[in-house]
Structure 1
Amino acid sequence: MDSAREAIRLVLVSFRAWLTDPKVMLVGALPALLSGVLIAALIVTLLVVSPSVEDLILDATGLDGTLGRTLSALLTVLVIVGGSVVAVLMFTTIALIIGQPFFEYLSRHLDERDGIEAVNVDEAWTGSLSRGMVEGLVTLATSLGILAVTALLGLIPVAGTVAAFLASAVLGGRMLALELTAYPMACRGVIARRDRITALRPVRATAYLFGTFIFLIFLLPLGTLLAMPVAVVGANTLSRRAIGVRAEGAAA
């Protein structure tokens, strides 16, 4: 419960950055805007084709009457819900890949504002580039793994849709927490992914719950646009707490 309260508090405090640094937050929202346009088109397409999906299911199963309509309606809802979850995961993956420069800018601004100096990490640009590419591939592989779990759970009648949704939120939240802390952790000398996972252990429950709450906000209208820079702010705070860094005159 303490971790849940702390995660909720972190979400609310991070949202406050829209009031204190609106211009910088707008920069952090740009990747979400670009990704959101692509994903919105996918969701609209799902809604448009959903009636055809129901007819296709009826034809494939050969069922008719009340039983056929009920089954096709349930499967259609599963397609729409599952497709929406897939859309959020795709959005997150795309936004994380194309938004790295924007998120780095936002993290640097937060540290400079709070008087925190980044660690001078001795890493060649080629190493940084290759590490970024590996991180992107890991993010993509993680997303595909989450989709596989979602698909398997979705096969369970009725309860499967709820289970798939919850599993996607929890696993997607963990992915968010790990990926968004990549840059602020690197600035503090923690570069490798496995080292980042180890460094986050003191705040692991709060970090993963924070990521889950952000994931759920992504599902709301305009949620992705507003919450992506908020997620970066929260990830920066989590990185400070994990490593024990404090801002001048205040707790990080």
Structure 2
Amino acid sequence: MDDAHAPRTSRARDLFAGAGYLLRGLGWTARHPAQWLFGLIPALIVLAVYAAALTGLAWKIDELADWTTPFADGWSESARTSVRVVAGLALYGAALFLAVVTFTAVTLLVGDPFYEAIAVRVEESQGGAPPEPDVPLLVRIGRAVKDTVILGVVALLFAVVFFACGFLPVVGQTVVPVVAALVSGYFLAGELTSVALERRGLRRRERFALLKRNRPLAVGFGAATFVMFLIPLGAVLAMPGAVAGGTLLARERLAPREPVTHGEIGVAGHH
């Protein structure tokens, strides 16, 4: 019986360990306030754009709810109002999910020099950072833009699914938000560990292969970050700490012990 429960216990332990990396990252930035302030700059810029977009969506949410539920036009007033309230909540929830997932990717793209510097400082405080890959700056920027676009498309697809599931009675208002938090957490972990893993020469497919093999850790770290980002201004204030936590997670639990070449990721070990 102990053996049967061991994998489940291990997964639960990794979930909490993953969340612990966020706390460690926030603790690191608390001990390095100059780095924290440095990391706020790109997050504030992106926040202003996202806040304007979400405010505009909230202003037009009634019209959008009407537009997405034309089938309810002939219903009674109470039934029509009920379904459109649910539609509005589902639509805004899907938009919020999309915003939280893409906020990190866009902020990392805009603030690449800022967060690269923070990640290096974190690594140096833990014993040393690996050398920067010999990749031209324009190539790195192109890869970052490509990764951001791909993540945005995937996040949009998930947002559409969650929007549709939001109409399900009870489940749409209870289970769906939890699943959305876990899914977005997984993608957040991928983004927040990307700085440290890219420095080790790992591309997007390889990074997510590592995350898949360490899913409880990734989900624990990312879901905790997702919840933090839902707090007003949390996405801005916690962003430098989340990058620091992602760097620690990548360094200690995800990064291969030996240099990895393309195609070898499936058998590479981790710390």
Change (3 A) 1:75 1:152: closer
Among 106, 111, 117, the residue aligned to 2:118: 106
C-alpha contact 1:154 1:163 (8 A) present in aligned 2: no
**Identical-pair percentage:** 26
Structure 1 stretch displaced more, 44-53 or 202-211: 44-53
In structure 1, the partner of 2:97 is: 85
Change (3 A) 1:187 1:137: same
In structure 1, the partner of 2:182 is: 170
In structure 1, the partner of 2:171 is: 159
How far did 1:141 drift?
A: 2.4
Change (3 A) 1:146 1:222: same
Q: In the alignment, does 2:28 pair up with 1:8?
A: no
Q: Which amino acid aligns with 1:132?
A: A
Superposed CA offset, 1:22-73 (max 9, x none)? 1101222222211211222223223333455566658952223432332232
Alignment of 1:137-216 (within 5 A): 137-188=149-200, 190-200=201-211, 203-216=214-227
Change (3 A) 1:50 1:117: closer
Change (3 A) 1:159 1:17: same
Distance (whole Å) between structure 1 residues aligned to residue 193 and residue 35 of structure 2? 18
Superposed CA offset, 1:199-240 (max 9, x none)? 446643212221121112211111111221121011100111
Q: When the two structures are superposed, what TM-score results if normalisation uses the length of structure 2?
A: 0.78
C-alpha contact 1:18 1:25 (8 A) present in aligned 2: yes
Q: In the alignment, does 2:35 pair up with 1:20?
A: no
In structure 2, the partner of 1:249 is: none
Name the SS for the 1:118 alignment partner.
Answer: coil
In structure 2, the partner of 1:42 is: 53
RMSD between aligned residues:
2.8
Give the gaps of 5 or more residues in structure 1.
246-251
Change (3 A) 1:196 1:61: same
Distance (whole Å) between structure 1 residues aligned to residue 70 and residue 215 of structure 2? 46
Distance (whole Å) between structure 1 residues aligned to residue 152 and residue 115 of structure 2? 18
Change (3 A) 1:232 1:72: same
Superposed CA offset, 1:171-224 (max 9, x none)? 221111112222211323x32222223444664321222112111221111111
Distance (whole Å) between structure 1 residues aligned to residue 141 and residue 59 of structure 2? 40
Q: Which amino acid aligns with 1:44?
A: T
Distance (whole Å) between structure 2 residues aligned to residue 235 and residue 176 of structure 1? 9
Q: In the alignment, does 2:232 pair up with 1:221?
A: yes
How far did 1:6 drift?
A: 1.0
Distance (whole Å) between structure 2 residues aligned to residue 96 and residue 139 of structure 1? 13
Distance (whole Å) between structure 1 residues aligned to residue 60 and residue 223 of structure 2? 29
In structure 1, the partner of 2:263 is: none
Q: In the alignment, does 2:128 pair up with 1:116?
A: yes
Distance (whole Å) between structure 1 residues aligned to residue 95 and residue 222 of structure 2? 20
In structure 1, the partner of 2:249 is: 238
Among 117, 136, 159, the residue aligned to 2:148: 136
C-alpha contact 1:146 1:172 (8 A) present in aligned 2: no
Distance (whole Å) between structure 2 residues aligned to residue 76 and residue 125 of structure 1? 43
Superposed CA offset, 1:64-118 (max 9, x none)? 3432332232223223323322332342332232122221111012122333131
